[in-house]
């Protein structure tokens, strides 16, 4: 299917553009990832800095922060997810249209971070929604967020449109909506979504 890279360059020099539908489709998708305008804590400040002139997220086609989940492709979980906020985060994710991606930005979003043992902080948003890119840091530097974008672009680029590993919106069987946790008397119920997150095996 894929055109040989050397041949493609050679043809390009002759003014002939050769591509595949898959490549073109993924190029379009990865070059206009619109994030949702949504910040949770101090990581959001770094996210805002990333969009400004010095780091210029516009180079990745991702400068358009949409205030509505319906128009967004990417959710940047930028900061601490408290147990009070977690249901709203999952609900916003459910409201986003496919294809949708998630970057968990910073120590809090990936694990609870310095607040992990607190009574009010979720120990990582990946317990409820699938996360595509995790970036550590407290907060991560804008460069780290740019790296997350590049990682996500590589991931989108590598997605085949058919068969195993195709994106969710092309898979009729795929699960697109994730159960919103309920705020119970003592904790969120359930405490994680087993379909998304299983307890990682720790080798001691």
Partner 1 sequence: MKTVEEIKAAIEAAVPDARVEIVANPSVSGQHSLRLTPSRAIEVATFLRDGLKFDYLSNVTGVDWPDKEIAEKVKVTREVTKVEDGVEQTAQETVEETRKRVEPGCLEAVYHLYSMSLKQGPLVLRMRTLNRTDQAELPSLTPVWRSAEFQEREIWDLYGIVFSGHPDLRRLLMWDGFKDHPMRRDYVEPDDFEYEPTAHDDVLKRAEAHRAAHATAGAAGHEATGGEQ
d(CA 37, CA 19): 34
Pick the piece of the chain touching partner 1 (CB under 8 A) from 14-22, 99-107, 112-120, 156-164: 112-120
Comparison of 103 and 122: residue with beta carbon closer to partner 1: 122
The answer to the question of residue 162 lying near partner 1 (CB under 8 A) is: no
**What are the Cα distances from residue 126, in Å, to 86, 102, 151, 174, 197?**
11, 10, 18, 18, 7
- Cα radius of gyration (the chain): 19
Judged by CB under 8 A, the residue of 31, 32, 68, 120 near partner 1 is 120
Residue 186 binding partner 1, by CB under 8 A: yes
CB of 189 to partner 1, least distance (A): 9
Which of these segments, 9-17, 21-29, 132-140, 184-192, binds partner 1 (CB under 8 A)? 184-192
**Binding of partner 1 by 160 (CB under 8 A):** no
Q: How far is the CB of 153 from partner 1 (least distance, A)?
A: 29
Regarding 16 and contact with partner 1 (CB under 8 A), the answer is no
Cβ closer to partner 1: 61 or 136?
136
Binding flag, residue 2, partner 1 (CB under 8 A): no
| 183 contacts partner 1 (rule: CB under 8 A) | yes
Query: 3-class secondary structure for the chain?
Result: CCCCHHHHHHHHHCCCCCCCHHHHHHHHHHCCCCEECCCCCCHHHHHHHHHCCCCCHHHHCCCCCECCHHHCCEEEEECCCECCCHHHHHHHHHHCCCCCEEEEEHHHHHHCHHHCCCCCECCCHHHCCCCCEEECCCCCCHHHHHHHHHHHHHHHHCCCCCCCCCCHHHCCCCCCCCCCCEECCCCEECCCCCCCCCCCCCCC
Q: Identify residues 71-90 at the interface with partner 1 (CB under 8 A).
A: 83-84
Does the footprint of partner 1 cover residue 5 (CB under 8 A)?
Answer: no
Interface residue with partner 1, options 21, 117, 162, 177 (CB under 8 A): 117
Does position 114 bind partner 1 by CB under 8 A?
no
Residues forming the site for partner 1 (CB under 8 A): 83-84, 117, 119-120, 123, 183-187, 190-192, 194, 197-200, 202
């Amino acid at each position: 299917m894929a055109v040989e890279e050397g041949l493609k360059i050679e043809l390009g020099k002759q003014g002939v553009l050769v591509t595949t539908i898959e490549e073109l489709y993924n190029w379009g998708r990865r070059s206009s990832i619109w994030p949702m305008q949504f910040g949770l804590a101090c990581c959001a400040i770094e996210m805002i800095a990333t969009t400004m002139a010095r780091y210029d997220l516009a180079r990745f086609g991702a400068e358009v922060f949409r205030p509505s989940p319906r128009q967004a492709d990417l959710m940047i979980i930028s900061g601490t997810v408290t147990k009070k906020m977690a249901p709203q985060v999952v609900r916003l994710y459910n409201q986003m249209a496919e294809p949708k991606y998630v970057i968990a930005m910073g120590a809090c979003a990936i694990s609870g971070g310095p607040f992990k043992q607190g009574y009010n902080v979720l120990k990582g948003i990946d317990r409820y929604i699938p996360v595509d890119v995790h970036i550590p840091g407290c907060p991560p530097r804008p460069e780290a967020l740019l790296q997350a974008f590049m990682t996500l672009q590589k991931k989108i680029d590598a997605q085949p449109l058919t068969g195993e590993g195709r994106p969710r919106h092309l898979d009729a069987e795929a699960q697109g909506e994730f159960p919103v946790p309920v705020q119970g008397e003592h904790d969120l119920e359930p405490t994680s979504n087993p379909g998304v997150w299983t307890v990682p095996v720790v080798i001691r």
